[in-house]
Structure 1
Amino acid sequence: MKLIVMSDSHGDRETVKAVSSLSGDATFHCGDSELSFDDPLLENIHTVRGNCDLDSRFPSSVLVEVGNKKVLAVHGHEHDVKRSLMMLYYTAKEQGADIVLFGHSHLYGAEMEDGILFLNPGSTRLPRGGKEATYAVIEWGETLRISFHDMNSGVVDSLEIKNFTKEH
């Protein structure tokens, strides 16, 4: 299975179009698209509302099953992710999530906690901390592979996790 994940595109339609054109089993936008809910670019993307999104029709979170994994997507501002992942961790446990996708900090990264993958794809438009603009690709089979890509689809960073088979 393969997930394509982006966040914090802040009105940049071209990056949303480019990233969403990639092949995957599901595509997610973790908020601050600054597009309207009914924008055709977002038609096949699981999209949540960020703190810069004015269209209130976006949900604050989505929980979908992809393959045998429950994927929770949020923006992160309502979970105080710039300080800690603790609030998001409790939400993930309550929702039974295997994978948690979030944005807001504009910094890419991934970590495992109690068998739950927490992933921030970074920002496709306004990265922070001197980092490049990025999106993420998550692939799993026997091994979980996470890669962060720049806007030219070059791999900026990656990691592999063996035995990603947590069951509920």
Structure 2
Amino acid sequence: MKYMIASDIHGSAYYCRELLHAYEGSGASRLVLLGDLLYHGPRNDLPRDYAPKEVIAMLNGLKDQIYSVRGNCDTEVDQMVLEFPILGDYALLAVDGLTIYATHGHIYNQDHLPPIQKGDILLHGHTHILTAERDQGITVLNPGSVSIPKGGNPPTYGILEDQVFRILDFDGNVIKEINLGE
């Protein structure tokens, strides 16, 4: 199964449209969202075309294809308007023999690991900085940010297929790649 993974839309209708356009063309059967869907948060500038109501309508249209976790900017009020669950602090995904602990990253991250074992994968957003690396037997993945990238990176998302995780920009360029089965 092919998954698209994205984080930190932060209410940007422009980048949500870009993401969903890429999703439609990717052949992925699920969209995994790592939080911070509607609100930009007090530490971030408004993203391009900040329009949370438009983002709500776009995401609700794919409600049966989305797995999501709660970001630090997501609240119960957001859950009232979104038609898919967003308030779980984490999700455990079993994909192609891999164990993936998906979370936003504000509670658990590579500096504060959740209860995972060597060989497991920590998948998170929050930092807005893309990552695909192994550290002490744990693989850490971060698709970067859809709308407010940091660290000089472009807006990005991830694709997971056949134990390979790729981080792409919206022009389809592979920015980073890691084989998770090695």
Q: Structure 2 length as normaliser, TM-score?
A: 0.70
Say whether the 8 Å CA contact 1:71–1:97 is kept in structure 2.
no
Structure 2: gaps (5+ residues): 39-54, 80-84
Cα distance in 1 between the residues matched to 2:103 and 2:177: 22
How much is the aligned-residue C-alpha RMSD, in angstroms? 2.7
Task: Write the mapping of 1:112-151 to structure 2, written as runs, cut at 5 A.
Answer: 112-140=134-162, 144-151=163-170
Partner residue of 2:61? Answer: 40
Consecutive unaligned residues in structure 1, runs of 5 or more: none
Give every structure 1 segment of 4 or more consecutive aligned residues whose post-TM-superposition deviation is greater than 6 Å.
none
Amino acid in structure 2 at the alignment position of 1:27: L
| Other-structure match for 2:35 | 31
Alpha-carbon offset, residue 6 of structure 1: 0.8
Question: 1:99 Cα deviation (Å)?
Answer: 2.4
2:70 corresponds to which residue? 49
Cα 1:15–1:48 shift into 2, 3 Å: farther
Q: Aligned partners of 1:137, 1:105: CA distance in 2, in Å?
A: 18
Aligned residues: 153
In 1, Cα distance between equivalents of 2:5 and 2:121: 12
Which of the residues 79, 88, 100 maps onto 1:71? 100
Q: 2:23 aligns with which of 17, 20, 30?
A: 20
1:157 and 2:176 correspond: yes
**The 10-residue stretch of structure 1 (116-125 or 52-61) with the greater mean CA deviation from structure 2:** 52-61
Using the alignment, how far apart are the partners of 1:3 and 1:117 within structure 2? 17
Output one character per residue of 1:60-83: Cα deviation in whole Å (capped at 9) or x when no partner: 11112223222221001112x4xx
- Greater share of strand: 1
Identity %: 31
